[in-house]
A and B are shown apart, each in its own frame.
Chain A
Amino acid sequence: MSSFDKLTTSMESVTAEQLKDLDPALFEFAPYSENASESRGYSNYAYWRSTWRSFSHNRTAMTLLIGLIVLLCFTFVQPLLPAQKSPTQVYTNAQTGRQERNHAPCAEFWFGTNTIGQDLWARVWSGTRTSLLIGLAVGLWNAVLGIIVGALWGYVRRLDGLLTEAYNVVRNIPNSIILILASYIMRPSVGTMIAAMCVTGWLPMARFVRNQIVIIRDREYNLASRCLGTPTERLIRKNLLPYLVSVIMLRIALAIPQAIGQEVFLTYIGLGLPVSIPSLGNLINEGRIVMMSASTRYQLLFPALVLSAVTVSFYVMGNAFADAADPRNHV
């Protein structure tokens, strides 16, 4: 086979003699099939699988994902663990009868106690649960309402002009002012907080969905689908939905840190949840009051750390997911 090898290495021009050295059987016609001709070009592409593959290659996002899942599981499992204390109970020292105020972290109180004598560890996790719940509720509500309004806005042409003008008007108001107003008018509670964040929180989503639908109506691949007789429902389901789903998940993921941030903001101003319901906003505020002295600073640090861990994870993961889900980034 040495002449064979010679041929493979110098492929420029070949002479008749070199050809003679090869096995003549190789020069017969090979079987031809049209199906086989397609096979070399075929690529095994599936959208969600490619998305997942893209995402899992991003090490930072995967680490944070795992970390976040662990954190979330722990947050909700925590009350069921043994030796957990109640977040609202004020603890008094059995011996002295005094309240256990401002204890630094120790064996009994893992995160220490606050100024009234409540267990900070339990309060932090309870607060995280509350804040996450608020964030999730706000995110879901904004998504659902946003999609419904956005879809109508985009599809029904007559509504478009009116809603666009209304949107332009509302967009000009700083979001914090709206939040403040809404919270100011209503009585403080978890429901109020969620409501305040949902007053105009669904607008960006509605606007986005509307833009997508408008593009969808006019994009050529959809016109082509319609020409071929594809019913509207299938069009929405196969062309629009896959992209929407990933963006919706992104928005919900980003809504959670945003909601937590807004809650902290409102609590600070004095429009937050009542003190009886622990939330990360409350805890940070309580911590702020005592942060000046180094011995009580832990009351700020622990909630802040947990808060940051949650928000950073959601934010990075949300963005990484958006990147992975973008078909233009798929190979």
Chain B
Amino acid sequence: MDYAHAEKILSVSDLVIKFNLRGRVLTAIRGISMDIYKGESLAIVGESGSGKSVFTKSFMGLLDSNGWIDNGSIMYGGVDLAKYTTEKQWLRVRGREIAMVFQDPMTSLNPLKTIGRQIQETVELHQGLRGGAAREKTHEILRDVGIAEPERRAKQYPHEFSGGMRQRVVIAIAVACSPRILICDEPTTALDVTIQAQILQLLRNLQSKYGLTVVYITHDLGVVANVADRIAVMYAGDIVETGLCEEVFYNAQHPYTWALLASLPQLGVRGEELNSIAGTPPSLFADIKGDAFAPRNPRALKIDYLLRPPFFEVSPTHRART
């Protein structure tokens, strides 16, 4: 991936997203600014609750009804998506431009419809085909994602498929939309390790075949190492470090990234003490003053409790808030 000549496809600037939970306001995303480049594989890493899913869902208007974009902009194709309010506007984006693959393939599929119908529905919607032509295309897509005997399998129900195959079906649905950006929300978390590699390989193939920009959301650094060109590390609703894959793995600058990498158990090393990060992430109901990670950071500076550290450039492609 050539970043020197890369073109921005999506630009987020100062995004703030809040949720209303029975009267209390929770700030899930606290002012993120980030760019996504065309054709890259970006991995967004962070622990549960850091806001990874919420961040990407906002690109498609899939926030829960009690959430809203409080501030900031999402520039895509010259339009600010953050300003979209009606479903009609979002329907221009969803599927057609940006598609999503969810974590749990079993619940993502309608259990009472055959998978053929579910894929065909997408084909009819986004590729304008009908009837026989749509069915042909459905079989073709099934073959693309590696499901043998597509004619027979298309008539089956989701519960007749194994986990890995179901995830392939979900990917098929996403790809059938012929989007520009594909967001994969923890695509392999619910799968066996052996299947994980296959799915990741599949995604890589599809990416090169269709020229997609892929955003991976994961908390598994192994997956990241496998597929990502660039990494963004999230903590408590904020991005703390972004950089090329090698840069972040070998030259991490933010203490949270250090802690994440350090907590990976090493294979082959015996009697190793497992490192964990002390403390818990902050409650996002309160306004967080300063650096969110400061209380858990043994090397925090006094100023970190007062001000949020700005991004420091380590290299043209590597920045960290520290």
* Chain A interfacial positions (CB closer than 8 Å to B): 4, 7-8, 10-14, 22, 25-30, 32, 34, 36-43, 54, 57, 329, 331
Given A13-B310, A27-B303: A34 touches B22 (CB 8 Å cut-off): no
Q: Tell me if B297 and A41 are in contact (CB < 8 A).
A: no
From B134-142, B175-183, B277-285, give the one contacting chain A. Answer: B277-285
Given A12-B33, A37-B278, A331-B22: A28 touches B301 (CB 8 Å cut-off): yes
Q: Tell me if B278 and A34 are in contact (CB < 8 A).
A: yes
A-B contact count, CB below 8 Å? 80
Q: Once bound together, how far apart are the Cα atoms of A54 and B21, in whole Å? A: 12
Shortest Cβ distance from B318 into chain A, in angstroms? 12
Give B226-262 interface residues, CB cut-off 8 Å to A: none
Q: Once bound together, how far apart are the Cα atoms of A331 and B24, in whole Å? A: 8
B31 within 8 A of A: yes
Q: Once bound together, how far apart are the Cα atoms of A20 and B39, in whole Å? A: 40
**Best-buried of A4, A10, A12 by chain B (most CB within 10 Å):** A12
| Chain A residue at minimum C-beta to C-beta distance from B297 | A32
Q: Once bound together, how far apart are the Cα atoms of A10 and B33, in whole Å? A: 12
- Residues in B whose Cβ lies below 8 Å from that of A42: 280, 283
B296 within 8 A of A: yes
Q: Tell me if B310 and A26 are in contact (CB < 8 A).
A: no
Q: Tell me if A41 and B279 are in contact (CB < 8 A).
A: yes
Q: Tell me if A32 and B298 are in contact (CB < 8 A).
A: yes
Query: B295 contacts which of A12, A26, A37 (Cβ < 8 Å)?
Result: A37
- Residues in B whose Cβ lies below 8 Å from that of A10: 310
Q: Once bound together, how far apart are the Cα atoms of A84 and B319, in whole Å? A: 84
Given A54-B22, A329-B22: A8 touches B303 (CB 8 Å cut-off): no
* Chain B interfacial positions (CB closer than 8 Å to A): 21-24, 31, 33, 278-283, 286, 288, 294-308, 310-313, 319
Shortest Cβ distance from B152 into chain A, in angstroms? 37
Closest 8 CB pairs of A and B: A37-B279, A41-B280, A40-B282, A26-B303, A14-B310, A37-B296, A37-B295, A30-B302
| Chain B residue at minimum C-beta to C-beta distance from A18 | B310
Shortest Cβ distance from A120 into chain B, in angstroms? 45
Q: Once bound together, how far apart are the Cα atoms of A109 and B281, in whole Å? A: 69
Q: Tell me if B310 and A12 are in contact (CB < 8 A).
A: yes
Shortest Cβ distance from A58 into chain B, in angstroms? 11
Query: B307 contacts which of A8, A12, A13, A30 (Cβ < 8 Å)?
Result: A8
Given A30-B304, A41-B280, A57-B23: A11 touches B298 (CB 8 Å cut-off): no
Shortest Cβ distance from B240 into chain A, in angstroms? 12
Given A7-B310, A8-B307: A39 touches B302 (CB 8 Å cut-off): no
30 contacts between A and B (CB under 8 A): A4-B307, A7-B307, A7-B310, A13-B311, A13-B312, A14-B310, A14-B311, A14-B312, A22-B303, A26-B303, A26-B306, A27-B301, A27-B303, A29-B299, A29-B300, A29-B302, A30-B300, A30-B301, A30-B302, A32-B297, A32-B299, A37-B278, A40-B282, A40-B286, A40-B288, A40-B295, A41-B282, A41-B283, A42-B283, A57-B23
